[in-house]
Amino acid sequence: MFGYTKIFDPAYYEAFNGWCKKLYDWGFEKEHLVTCNGIIPALYELVDYITNEYEKILIVTPFYAYFKHAVDFNKRELVTSDLIEKDNYYTIDFDDFEAKAKDDRVTLCIFCNPHNPSGRVWTEEELKRVGQICLDNNVMVISDEIHCDLLRNGKKHTPLAKLFPDTDQIITCMAPSKTFNMAGFMISNIIIPNEKIRSIYKARHYDFENPLSVVAAQAAYTDGYDWLC
Ligand SMILES: Cc1ncc(COP(=O)(O)O)c(C=O)c1O
């Protein structure tokens, strides 16, 4: 860990990893965790760190507009795959998604799990297909899971990375901002298992965290479960 999070090492990691274990039966290595002032600022950086100017980024559409802004900001080419809408229920057009992932120049997919704006909580089967298509075609995935802690009763979130424990090609983004109405604290968790991308992030990211935000997020992850549930 680095920056102020280091001051709270290993307590911050333990609090957040413990949260993921409790809610999702999924954990990650401490070294893989970095923070950012938001998931969107992290996307702006990661698109730059992962892709070069000739490469393209795949996103299912409709999408949260800032996904495209991160692509545009870095002057990368966007490739979209339309979701199929039937009776207001959205599903992935896997044939189209796979055809687009097969383009050699598509090297990154920004995926939203659960999906904003459709509200879909993807099934494990859908997630496995998305992940497998990306891995089979050397497409790294950034899985934005910012809404994962806020599901209707009876719905279950599965982190995409949980389904692919042997790969380092899936970056997971989570945050306390939506969960605990803490957007003003400007802290998000970015789990980057890939050593190369993580070291670029650490070298180039302007590492500013408000220590109060780290304390607040740590407290929320440690003691906030009863309040949330
Ligand atoms: C899918 C998604 N990702 C990210 C964000 C914002 O993330 P942050 O405030 O951490 O940059 C939002 C906010 O609405 C969102 O819907």
| Of 34, 47, 66, 142, best ligand 1 pocket probe by most atoms within 8 Å of the beta carbon | 66
User: At residue 3, does pLDDT exceed 70?
Assistant: no
User: At residue 36, does pLDDT exceed 70?
Assistant: yes
User: At residue 49, does pLDDT exceed 70?
Assistant: yes
| Ligand 1 atom, smallest distance to 36 CA | 10
Contact (Cβ atoms closer than 8 angstroms) between residue 150 and residue 103: no
- The residue contributing the CA closest to ligand 1 atom 10 is 38
Q: What angle do CA 14, 108, 30 make, to 5 degrees?
A: 15
| Ligand 1 atom, smallest distance to 40 CA | 11
- The residue contributing the CA closest to ligand 1 atom 9 is 38
Q: What is the pLDDT of residues 105-120, one digit of tens each?
A: 999 999 999 999 999 9
The tokens describing 74, both together, are: 């870095």
- The residue contributing the CA closest to ligand 1 atom 14 is 64
How far does residue 146's CA lie from ligand 1's centre (Å)?
Answer: 6
Q: How confident is the model at residue 4 (pLDDT cuts 50, 70, 90)?
A: low
Give dist(CA 119, CA 147) in Å, integer: 9
Instruction: List pocket residues of ligand 1, CB cut-off 6 Å.
Output: 38-40, 64, 112, 116, 144, 146, 175, 177, 183, 188
- Specify burial of residue 194 (Cβ count, 10 A radius: 0-12, 13-18, 19+): middle
How far does residue 216's CA lie from ligand 1's centre (Å)?
Answer: 19
Average per-residue pLDDT for the chain: 96
User: At residue 8, does pLDDT exceed 90?
Assistant: no
User: At residue 2, does pLDDT exceed 70?
Assistant: no
How far does residue 145's CA lie from ligand 1's centre (Å)?
Answer: 9
Q: What is the pLDDT of residues 162-199, one digit of tens each?
A: 999 999 999 999 999 999 999 999 999 999 999 999 99
The DSSP line for 45-112 is HHHHHH--TT-EEEEEES--HHHHHHHHHTTPEEEEEEPEEETTEEE--HHHHHHHHTSTTEEEEEEE
- The residue contributing the CA closest to ligand 1 atom 7 is 39
Q: What is the pLDDT of residue 207?
A: 86
pTM: 0.97
Among the ranges given (15-24, 203-212, 220-229), the one the predictor scored with the smallest mean pLDDT: 203-212
Percentage with pLDDT > 70 across the chain:
97
Give dist(CA 224, CA 218) in Å, integer: 9
CA distances (Å), 19 to each of 8, 28, 224, in order? 16, 11, 10
Architecture of the CATH domain 37-202: 3-Layer(aba) Sandwich (3.40)
Q: What is the pLDDT of residue 17?
A: 98
Q: What is the pLDDT of residue 7?
A: 65
- The residue contributing the CA closest to ligand 1 atom 12 is 146
